[in-house]
Structure 1
């Protein structure tokens, strides 16, 4: 397995969900978990899979679990600090830039938000997202469609143009 090839996208995935120090720690935990479960990694170990593209979604799923563990640990730590010092929690990473988008994403449920972020930022297909989230590909497609529709309404994008996507596919209008 090319660990560096897996580590770079996983680090980008984690940086979008946590601050840089936490992302590095979570990446280290993820890589350790992958190493411990090396026999379970698709395309590696006993059950060799010929499709090398099946490995990254599986690794994203492991990273997602490590991120959840870290968030739970941070939550426990934060509650303790708040109890001891009576301070407010720090702002969530990334909320400073694009506040309208973060506000709109905040209206989605946690799983719907994760599906949208995996699709938009990690560029995973519904099949790959399904593997990460342990849903079916059909459920991911439905959640993604509904979430995008809701976000478009919240962000007042009621036109037919898809934000960030070229509509002409690079062809001339002649």
Structure 2
């Protein structure tokens, strides 16, 4: 059997299975979740069935399988896909709640427009390196892994980008915050 014939046969098996199980799975999902989630979960279920077509019990080479043989396993797949969708919705909801709390906790008078403008003046890769370092707390080695650069290149980019940011923010020659320039020096 050629590869093309095998693909054609696999497709015919899937189409036969899909024709048989789409409506029962749709009804199954409608009884268990909201109508706006049903189509997404059904699509994910059919994708899993396509990927695992050879694992479907009772699905031989016959293009029209017996529903009693294949439906229970397909219900199990749909049940798993629905559980995944519910977990994903829960994660999204928790993220939104966390973002809302973060916004509420942020000081109202904080204006970071100068910082954002200075960041925007950097190139895209330099901006990403700085954000990974400053906001995500990654070390140059980890940034290198995330961006595909070498650790040395990340260190150089980070050093130069920080210098450009300091210049943009007019803090290049400024002393440490809260200290005067001549503090600690003898007046003699």
User: Could you say which structure has the higher helix fraction?
Assistant: 2
The TM-score range, normalised by the shorter chain, is 0.3 to 0.5
How does the TM-score come out when normalised to structure 1?
A: 0.44
How does the TM-score come out when normalised to structure 2?
A: 0.41
